Amino acid sequence: MRFSKKKLLFMFAIVVSGYLFIMVFPFLWIFITSFKTSGEIFGTGAFHVIPEDPTLKNYAIILFEKGILRAIVNSFVVAISTTIYVIVVASLCAYAISRFHFKGKSILLGLVLAVSMFPQMIITGPVYNLFYDLGWLNSYFVILPYSTITLPMAVWILVTHFNQIPLALEESAKIDGATRIQTLTKIVFPLAAPGVFTTAIITFIAAWNEFLLTITLNTESSFHTVPVAISFLRDQFSILWGEVAAATTIVTIPTLIIVLIFQRQIVSGLTSGGVKE
């Protein structure tokens, strides 16, 4: 049985639309739930798409009583600091791997990739003991172990992008009298900007969503980040799903805005290093 081109396109559009709906539905349902009262969430109106008695009480509670704004500030501080630290270190490391020829380069890249696959649980215990001895518990020093999650991935991505930059450009700059630092800042980094930008966004989102290290190292509520603060929205016998839904909606907005605004740069950065010229 043969299908016309229009029918195939129509079927493809249906499949894609269905897939997108499945992907977006959890966030959409959380958003709807955030406007429901506790009685409606657990009552007969639990499956109603439009709340029978919409309320902003859940948002008022988490903003003015639960201290979610403090957690948002902590998340921004930790995520931005981690991003800056990882980008600086990963850029220098990736450039050295890309440009310098030495034995075992492929093995080194393999080890970098292997480190990124380690379960967080393996490093959480030793990191806690180290932070306890140094007196760094309940502080913003948590950005240092955050780098163990994002730095290997950042190095791997940036090495690919630096490999795409012709070495002749750097040699020409050297002939013109440019120093190594000038070559990096004025030639290499501008050309690698899509990859650096994409890596920064991925790092920020990973740091923003990190949970295990923060809840282990920062037990005081004043240093809780957003994922940890949401996990404590419960009482003795139940989870406050209305407040959880409202908090989830609020804290998802920053990453959603970043992805929507910079989606072209993200796609460009992910694909520009994937084709060998």
Domains and CATH numbers, the chain: 57-272 (1.10.3720.10)
Alpha helices by DSSP H, 104-176 = 105-115, 120-134, 143-163, 167-175
From CA 204, how far away is CA 76, in angstroms rounded?
A: 9
Please check whether residue 62 is in contact with residue 246, taking contact to mean a CB–CB distance below 8 angstroms. Answer: yes
pTM for this entry = 0.82
Residue-wise pLDDT tens digits, 46-75 = 788 888 888 889 999 898 888 788 999 999
Widest Cα–Cα separation across the chain: 76
Instruction: Specify the 3-state DSSP secondary structure of 50.
Output: coil
Strands (E), 8-151: none
The residue behind tokens 């180290």 is 130
Dihedral sign from CA coordinates of 74, 76, 82, 84: negative
- What integer is the mean pLDDT of 8-24? 88
pLDDT at site 136: 92
What six digits make up the tokens of 119? 């379960």
Residue-wise pLDDT tens digits, 90-124 = 998 898 888 888 888 888 888 888 877 777 788 88
Residue-wise pLDDT tens digits, 126-174 = 899 999 999 999 999 999 998 888 888 899 888 888 888 888 888 888 8
- What integer is the mean pLDDT of 224-250? 87
